[in-house]
Each structure stands twice: as structure tokens, then as C-alpha cells.
Structure 1
Amino acid sequence: MVLELLFSFAFFYPVAMSFFWVVGGLYYYLRRERNAPPRDQPPPLAESPMVSILVPCHNESANIGETIASLLAQRYPHFEIIAVNDGSDDDTGPKLDALAEQHPQVRAIHLDRNLGKANALRMGALAARSEYLVCIDGDALLDPHACHWMAWHLCSGPRVGAVTGNPRIRNRSTLLGKLQVGEFSSIIGMIKRAQRSYGRLFTISGVVSAFRKTALHQVGYWSDDMVTEDIDISWRLQMNHWDIRYEPNALAWILMPETLRGLWKQRLRWAQGGVEVLLRHGLKLFTWRRRRMWGVMAEYLLSLLWATVMLAIIVLWLAGMVFPLPPALRVDGLVPGWHGLVLALICLLQFAVALLIDRRYEAKIGRYYYWMIWYPAAYWLLSLATTLTAVPKTLLKRRGQLAVWTSPDRGYR
């Protein structure tokens, strides 16, 4: 009986989540995307308030020129660019100074040591002249109309505290790169659509987002001791009743890991960030005024429970290979059989729906559907491993330790 319950939950949880994401994503598409104007014709603004674009960077010499060039090409009438050099030990600083001399819209701020992305964002926000802040990583390329789309949301209502954009993979030369193209469409994009439809977002995309400075000031800006400052600021804004919007037309082309080691380090950091946020803010959500965050917390708690159940199944299987177990606890094998086939078909259906929606943003994205047949097992196994590793790592982390920059694997280009 116990084993049946474990296997049932291990199987039905991914099925239920795929259904949840597909239904929510389709609802969002039909309500908000299907009849939206084209990406290059964003809704007009009664007035175009100034936007401050913040670019926190650490050792971005190879990419910062491209990033600033994409920002200077924004089709928005009134903006400034604030690049924060956070203790780089390459020639990022001199390159930023040269760009600032060449372009009056660019300002460079230099910090003498590596204090982390959250601190760099805070310094940029305090130096910004605008109430509206667009934040982008130092290795990303912003679509020319992205600022307009995000500013439109911030101008649409006084309680809109943040807008998350739509990251797109630009390095696609390996199998890992191709798999992540589908992942960002069918997993990350669909999750944001579904969560926006049902209530609250688990996190903005830290690589491309926009904020109202008043909202940031109220919650104390970004936390410099959280490994994922984007998850933390998302929870704190929504706990204080600020709305976070998702804008799929706000595209940013990003570099992602294309090695197993780089992917593992990135996803472990994401998993650790989720655990940190839950430990710090979870108990604060048990009030009626914050009930709209309950769904986000429940979804995350279920993912942790699923990882624990999968670990229990694996342990029982290994134990059964060493010594005899009672029939109720014996696991004969980990090959999922027909359950795995059903799960794979449901995941492929989810991928198909997501890629059809995303043709609006990439006309030829359907060519990556072929590669997604490998992804269901890879995604859930990676999620399982990173979650199980992140929990003890977070519990053992020294509280208050600064989350400083580490140079990531940016793949092959």
C-alpha cells in the first residue's frame, strides 16, 4: 500500500503539473496574446516616461559591447543606461568608460570589489533618474521594443510593481542548447503564463525584468545574501501586494550553459534559491491577506515532496538489491514502463502547445520539437538531483553570507 502511494504520487504529480501548465498557458494565450498587437507595434503610451536601464556586470568584457549596443537600439524615446561594474578583474571597466564617453545616454558606475548582483542592482537603482527601471544581464541582448512593452505595463496601473520579460536562447550549437530552447518555451514560458493566469508568479526572469522604484524602495530593494535575488524580490513584492506582470513580447536573447557541469551549477543555484526563499518567507504567508501566494507556495512544496518521494523509491530499490525487503516495500526496478510512456506523451503534448504559441516570437521554433523527445526524463531527473542537493546545502549555509558573482558557463557561440 505504501509503495503504491509513492509510485502513484511520483507518476501523477508530473502529469498534473503538465495539465496545470497547459490549461493555464492556453487560457493566458487566448485572453492576452492571441489578439495582442505585433511585437514591433507595442500599444501607444499617453506619455513616454523616462526609463533607466540597469546593467549589473562582473567580468563581462567579451559581451558588454554587444549588450550596450542592443540597449542603444531601443525604439523608446527617453531612456538612460546605467552600467554597474561590480569589481571586475578584466577590462570591463575601461570598456564601459569608453562607451560612456562615446554615448551620452550611458553612465558607468564602478564598485571596487565583488559584492554580488543584488548590490550592483541596488547601486544602479539609487543612481537612476527614473521611477521605472529595466534590468538586464551584462551578456544579454534586448529586443528593440522590449523597453516599450515593459514600460506600458508599469504605466498601466499604480500597483504594478514589476514586469518579467521573455528570455530566448541564442546559443544553440549543442544538444543541451537545443533542449534549452524548448525548455524556455514549454516549461519556463508556460509556467509563467499559467501562474499569471492563476494568481501569482514564483519568480521574475532576472535576466530581463522591469521594476517600479517605489515598490523596490518599500520592500528594501534586492537582498544581497540570497543566491537568487530574482526569486526573493518576486516573493517580497507580491507579499506586499504589488502586482507582477508577464510580458512575452519583451524579448531578451541570452547565453546559457552548454556543458553538463555548467548546467548543473546553474540549476543547483536556482534550486537553492527556491529553498532559501521558502525558509525565509514561507511562514509569513500564513495570513489571509497573503492568500494569493498560497498557490505558489503549494506548487513549490509539492515539488519538494515529489523529490523526496523519488528519493525514497530509489533508496528502497537500492536496499532491495542488498537485503530482502517485505513485498510492500520491494521495488523491482526504476524503468517506468507504461507510466513513463504516458508521461512522455503528455510532456510532448505540452511542448507542442508551447511551441505553437511561441511561433509568434520565433517563426521557426518548431524545428526544435524533434530534440524535445529527450527532455522529459532529463528535466525531471535534473530537478530531482538539484532539489535533493539544494536542501542540505541551504540548511548548512551561513546566514548573512554575501551572494557574490561567479562567472557562469555561457556555452558555445
Structure 2
Amino acid sequence: MGLTIAYIIIGIYSTSLLLIFFYSLAQLNLLVNYLGNKKINEVAPKYNLLDAKEIPFVTIQLPIYNEEYVVERLLENISKMEYPKSKLEIQVLDDSTDKLTVEETAGRIKALQETGLDIQHIRRENRTGYKAGALKEGLKIAKGDFIAIFDADFLPEYDWLKKTVIYFKDEEIGVVQTRWGHINRDYSTLTKIQAFALDAHFTLEQVGRNAKGHFINFNGTAGIWRKECILDAGNWEGDTLTEDLDLSYRAQLKNWKFKYLEDVETPAELPVVISAARSQQFRWNKG
């Protein structure tokens, strides 16, 4: 009996070591791919934004829901985006249920409209499909050939569009995804741990996979889609919590290419309390 238990324990231990070994080989492969990726973007075809005829029309979508504390900062940041106004549209997809927040958002949008910015406040009668439903609703009337998406806590740099939309010169590219940054990385030990874990994903894993043409996913924000790609892949669907992953894989199964830009960082805030971080991780894993 004792000998049998010993064999079982050794078997479990050996299997675990073997799995760890295979995982390590996979990570090593990603590292090799990552190191060999440096020059790919340098030789990629790009739009010449100095030529007015090559500047594509872009729609920025901002899906928000009761973002009382960050919506003003978001709108101020996006309004500073350096891109020809005649080629830029901004959709604030506001599913908020807080009347005061809605009114304040509407007031800020009106003030921006008076500056000549093409920005629209889009409200729905119901929240069917949640974020995916809001994105799908906005897409129906979007003027742009390319759709940039930012969650409420993301703050792209003023030249973000100029660094990303240029890669759609390659007509096979359906998505350009940028790397998440962290405004409050050094706030606490918790934020430092989260930043470390996310950085590993957004550098080694995403770049390593993308370098060899393996599937990667749009991360729900801080990226830009070709409108044709969204429609060809079946559009946004709200039947899963991870609508970004769902549409990403459907698009790549349709042979659309994804481009990941490690050098373009889009900063955002990390959860600063353990309950918020746990809730975020639970949602991602449940999806």
C-alpha cells in the first residue's frame, strides 16, 4: 500500500515537472520571437500623413458607464488629439444611468462642439449587450473607415492616431493594438504587482505571438480597428463578457492580420484596492 502511494506521488510530481518544462519551452520560444521582432515595423508599409489624400477618416469611440470621476479628464484628453478635424469624429457612447453624470457629460460635449470638434453624445434607450452593444450601436452611424476605442480610464498621447493609423496602409491588417501603460504603477505594492504581470503579457506574450503571425487579441481598448474587419467578422456581440477576445478570434479566423505596437504606450489607471483588482480579474477569467 505504502509503495503504491509512493509511485502515485512520484507520478504526479514527474507530470508536474514535465508540464512546467513544456511551459518553459513555450515561454523561451516567445522570447526568441520577441527579440527577433524589432525591425518588423520599420519596413512595414505606412500611410504618408503629409499627403492629404492618404489621411484616412477615423472615428474614436468612448464607451462610458457612470464615469463621474474620470469622464472630464477623458474628454479633455481626447479633444487634444492631433489629427485633422475634417478627418476625425468622436462618439461618446454613454450608457450611464446616473442622471447627474449624464447631464455633466452632455455639458462638456456641447462645449467641445462649440470649438469645432465633431463629437457626438450617443445615448441608448436600454443597455442591451452592454459595452459590445454600445460599440455596435455607434458603428451603425460611424463616419470613419477606422475605429479607435478607449475605455474611460485610458489617456492616449496627442499623437496616438498618427502612430497607429499609418499601418493600415497594408490592406490585410484589421487591428492595430498598442501596449497598456500604467499611470499609477508606483502607488502601492498592489499596483506594482499588477503592472509587472500586465507588462509581461503586453510585451513578451503579445509581441512574441504577433511576430510569428500567431493569434493575439484586441485588448478591449487602446487599439484601432478597420471598420470593414469588424463587419466582416460578424460585428460586436454581447453574448460574452469578453467581447474583445470573441471578435478578435473571429476576425483572425477570417484571415485578418493584427499588428501589435509595443513602442506605442497608452497609459491607464490600475485598481488601487484589492477588492477592485479581484473583481477585475474575476470578470476577465469568467469571460
TM-score class, shorter-chain normalisation, is 0.7 to 0.9
Which runs of structure 2 are paired with 1:38-49 in the superposition (5 Å)? 44-45=48-49, 46=51, 47-49=54-56
User: 2:131 is matched with which residue: 110, 117, 121?
Assistant: 117
| Cα distance, 1:84–1:75 mapped onto 2, change above 3 Å | same
Are 2:88 and 1:75 aligned? no
Q: Distance in 2 between matches of 1:166 and 1:183?
A: 13
What secondary structure does 1:227 align onto? coil
Amino acid paired to 1:79? L
The answer to whether the Cα contact below 8 Å between 1:192 and 1:201 also exists between their aligned partners in 2 is no
Which runs of structure 2 are paired with 1:8-87 in the superposition (5 Å)? 8-29=17-38, 31-32=39-40, 44-45=48-49, 46=51, 47-77=54-84, 78-87=87-96
Q: Deviation string for 1:280-325 (max 9, x for gaps)?
A: xxxxxxxxxxxxxxxxxxxxxxxxxxxxxxxxxxxxxxxxxxxxxx
Amino acid paired to 2:265? L
Are 2:181 and 1:163 aligned? no
The answer to whether the Cα contact below 8 Å between 2:94 and 2:121 also exists between their aligned partners in 1 is yes
Compute the displacement of 1:15 (Å): 2.0
Amino acid paired to 2:79? L
Are 2:229 and 1:220 aligned? no
The answer to whether the Cα contact below 8 Å between 1:87 and 1:112 also exists between their aligned partners in 2 is no
Q: Distance in 2 between matches of 1:32 and 1:183?
A: 25
Which region of structure 1 is more displaced relative to structure 2, 231-240 or 100-109? 100-109
User: 1:132 is matched with which residue: 137, 146, 163?
Assistant: 146
Q: Distance in 2 between matches of 1:200 and 1:247?
A: 15
Q: Distance in 2 between matches of 1:266 and 1:14?
A: 25
Compute the displacement of 1:267 (Å): 1.9
Q: Distance in 1 between matches of 2:209 and 2:60?
A: 26
User: 1:6 is matched with which residue: 2, 12, 15?
Assistant: 15
The list of structure 1 runs, each at least 4 consecutive aligned residues, that deviate by more than 6 angstroms after superposition, is none
Amino acid paired to 2:193? L
- Superposition RMSD in Å: 2.2
Tell me the percent identity. Answer: 21
Q: Distance in 2 between matches of 1:99 and 1:139?
A: 17
Compute the displacement of 1:257 (Å): 1.7
Give the unaligned 5+ runs of structure 2: 1-9
Amino acid paired to 1:32? I
Which runs of structure 2 are paired with 1:10-409 in the superposition (5 Å)? 10-29=19-38, 31-32=39-40, 44-45=48-49, 46=51, 47-77=54-84, 78-89=87-98, 91-104=100-113, 105-115=118-128, 116-154=130-168, 156-172=169-185, 173-273=187-287
Compute the displacement of 1:90 (Å): 5.1
The answer to whether the Cα contact below 8 Å between 2:177 and 2:260 also exists between their aligned partners in 1 is yes
Q: Kindly tell me the number of residue pairs found equivalent between the two proteins.
A: 266
Normalising by structure 1, report the TM-score: 0.60
What secondary structure does 1:28 align onto? coil
| Cα distance, 1:74–1:212 mapped onto 2, change above 3 Å | same
Q: Distance in 1 between matches of 2:217 and 2:195?
A: 19
Q: Distance in 2 between matches of 1:235 and 1:221?
A: 12
The answer to whether the Cα contact below 8 Å between 2:216 and 2:258 also exists between their aligned partners in 1 is no
Partner of 2:7: none
| Cα distance, 1:214–1:266 mapped onto 2, change above 3 Å | same
The answer to whether the Cα contact below 8 Å between 1:93 and 1:110 also exists between their aligned partners in 2 is no
| Cα distance, 1:92–1:200 mapped onto 2, change above 3 Å | farther
Compute the displacement of 1:183 (Å): 2.5
Amino acid paired to 1:65? E
Q: Deviation string for 1:320-374 (max 9, x for gaps)?
A: xxxxxxxxxxxxxxxxxxxxxxxxxxxxxxxxxxxxxxxxxxxxxxxxxxxxxxx
Q: Distance in 1 between matches of 2:47 and 2:173?
A: 17
Higher helix proportion: 1
